[in-house]
Every structure is written in structure tokens, then in C-alpha cells.
Amino acid sequence: MRDSSRLTRRAALGLTAAALPLSAASPASAATTVVGGERLARGGIQVRGATGLPKKITAQAWLLADCDSGEVLASYNAHRRLPPASTLKMLFADTVLKKFERTGRYTVKDSDISDVPSGSSLVGIKAGITYTVEQLWQGVFLRSGNDAVHVLSHMNGGLAKTVAEMQAKAVDLQALDTHVVSPDGFDHNGQLSSAYDLTLFARHGLKDEEFRGYCGTRTADFPAGGKKTFQIQNTDRLLTGAWGLGVYKGLIGVKNGYTSHAGNTFTGAATRGGRTLLVTVMHPAAGSNAVYEQTAALLDWGFGNGSSAQSVGLLVDPLSEGGASASPSKGAAGASGTSAAAAGSSKPSPWRLAEGGAGTLALLGAGAWALRRRRRTAVAATATAAATAAVAEPDLRDARVSDPGDTPAG
């Protein structure tokens, strides 16, 4: 029954123009175009055709969606812009993961890790040790290591280039609530995302076998120098059952995050009965387990009462994969060009970021029309300026938060 009406629902959804508040504290996005449907721009709970949502959800924003169809089954403040913490590493992986062969080897230099912000979550990378690319990504996904992110960013041409490419990737994914300042998710003024955008990042990443494998890995042996290793464990508590939580049945990833400013944020995906659901929960009240408990509760509802839920919105497809993009003059009824075939496709994006600063600038130029129409001028200027070779890499060591590591919260 769901498949028979999917095309109709997808055609009715899409991008809706709206004038929205620019405040980061607002329930709505700062973007001038509502991505995914008009209902997702509204404050409060959005659900249709199902009852029994968990009552004790204290998150400032959350979203539950079907991973394959992209249909949003329920949400709360879906486009509210909030600090994403290390969940932004999903976008980092979406952008950089396919650049290097996993068997490649790299010897870390002091300069690769000298700009890691003080207080960051670390996997324990040391200068002078040679790591495989696979091990560096294990450091990113399992331990949320900012040191691993910085090494990979420098391998990619530097922090500024990586930030610019991440912003361009966000534009392609139509994640218009997201403004990237640092590749690791560490707290910086203006670094924001939303439950909607984080779910887009997760859905796109899970189409890739390597991404899916890394985020679902529970433990790994990590180099300590010479022939010595130490074991690292994934900080996703629903995956490992740590901190008094049980392993969530069917969980396949994706990424958690915590800073003292952002609080706890988590995007999780689980599969049951051949159906995969995605949940993003941002900034719940109460203790560090709350983000996982509330994610589990929403997943339980989605696999149960939520099976009858009708779409309140849509996770749109990337522009590079045929995703529809409405101009600000169009409403939901006019944005009917979303590709149903692209949703849930396992085919990786053909869009590849060109190497070097010139390639980055060309890529940003290709998406400039979207930035001009749908983002504030400041965001476009930041992404473009960061991409130019004349701009020095930012010093990320003097952030506002003194204790932003993921360790206390997972």
C-alpha cells in the first residue's frame, strides 16, 4: 500500500518557498526556501495518520524518516538551526570519504594535528606514526576523533579547502540549514545544522558501503607505534550497549555528538523487517543517555504505530542525482519534479569534487545560483572565501568551549 501511493505523495511534496526568521534559535530554517515540504517549516510536532508518539521527548528538534522512500513520518522543529557537534562529521565523510583508497598509508606530521582544538575528542593519533586510511576513518567514526578529521583534512588539501567542499556538498544535498565553519563539528560561532539536514547527511552516507561499514563498527585495533595497538570502541551507545543502555535491535549506525555548548545530538538508523528508519534527535534535556533513549523510543514508534503514518515531508534527493529544486516563487504543488527513482538508490553520486583550489572554486560556482537564491549572502561569501587559495587556513585552537569532547556523552 505504501508503494502504490509513494509517487503521489512525493509529487505533492518538495520545496516550498517561505519567508522565514533568520534567528538560529528559531524553530524554522534561516534558508529562504523550505526544503522537503511546507509542514516541515512549522514549529511543533508534525504527524499524520498515526497516534501514540512517545510523550517524553524533550529534544529541541527531532525527525523520523523512512530511509528508502525519504518520507518524513514525524518531526518536531525539523529545520531549527542548532549546533550539530560531531554529527557534522557525517557531512565530512560524505565529502571526503571517497577521495582516498582505504588501503592507502599516510605518515602523520606535527602540522597535521597542531591545529586540533584544545579539549577535542581524540582517537590518539601521534606524529611520526604511519596509519592506513581505513584506520583514520575508524578514528573518525568510532572515537569521533578530531585529530583523525584534521589529518584527513590536511591530506585533502587543508582545513579551508575541506570546509569549502563540505559547504558545497551541503548545497548539493539541499541541506540549506547547514553552515560549516570547521570540518570536525567543534563549536564555533555560526556553525549550525538542523535535524532535517543531519538526516539528509546520514541517508546519503548510508548509500555508500564504506560509510555504512565504518559507522556500524563496534571495536577496532588502533596503532600505538611500532607493533603495538590499542582497542577503540564506538561511542554510539545504542550500537555497543555501553553506559547502561542495551544494544538497540537492528541498529546499523550512524553518528553521535556532544559538546558543552551543543549538548547531545544523535542520528541513528535501524533496520527491521526489511525496513530502515532514520532518526535525528538534537539537544534533549536531562542526562547524556537521553539522546539515545529518545532515539530508541522514536524508532520503536516508527516500527510500530508509525507504520500507518502518512508523509508530512520528504528527504529530498541531491541536485546532482536529479533532485528537484524549486525556485522561491514556487509552492509545494509546483515542485513536482523530485525523482522517485533516485530515492533510496544505492548508486553513488556521480558528482565528484575536483582536486585543488581551482576545482573547488569551479564546483562552488556551479552551485552559486542556489546559494544566491536560498542562503544568506554571508553564508555564500564564507564558503567562497574559504575556497580561495589566498585565504589562510583558520586557526581552530581558540574556540569558545573549553570541554567539547564527545567522550562524556558518547
**Cα-based angle 349, 207, 356 (whole degrees, multiple of 5):** 40
- Residue 242: name the closest of 289, 297, 298, 283 by CA: 289
The rounded distance, in Å, linking the Cα atoms of 340 and 317 is 9
**Cα-based angle 171, 173, 174 (whole degrees, multiple of 5):** 60
The rounded distance, in Å, linking the Cα atoms of 174 and 325 is 8
What is the SS3 assignment for 233? strand
17 - beta bridge partners? 33
**Is there a catalytic annotation at residue 89?**
yes
The rounded distance, in Å, linking the Cα atoms of 342 and 27 is 29
**Is there a catalytic annotation at residue 227?**
no
**Is there a catalytic annotation at residue 144?**
yes
- Residue 137: name the closest of 84, 165, 95, 194 by CA: 95
Residue of 29, 69, 75, 86 marked catalytic = 86
The rounded distance, in Å, linking the Cα atoms of 28 and 76 is 10
Q: Residues 231, 235, 240, 242: is their CA dihedral positive or negative?
A: positive
* Amino acid in position 409: A
Residue of 89, 161, 255, 330 marked catalytic = 89
106 - beta bridge partners? 131
The rounded distance, in Å, linking the Cα atoms of 160 and 181 is 9
The rounded distance, in Å, linking the Cα atoms of 272 and 354 is 38
Estimate to the nearest angstrom the gap between the alpha carbon of 51 and the chain centroid.
28
For residue 6, count other CB atoms closer than 10 A to its CB.
18
* Amino acid in position 1: M
For residue 98, count other CB atoms closer than 10 A to its CB.
15
Residues 266/284, Cβ–Cβ less than 8 Å: no
Q: Give the strand pairing for 130-132 and 219-225.
A: unpaired
Residue of 69, 144, 153, 325 marked catalytic = 144
Provide φ and ψ at 251, rounded to 5°. -65, 135
Catalytic residues: 86, 89, 144
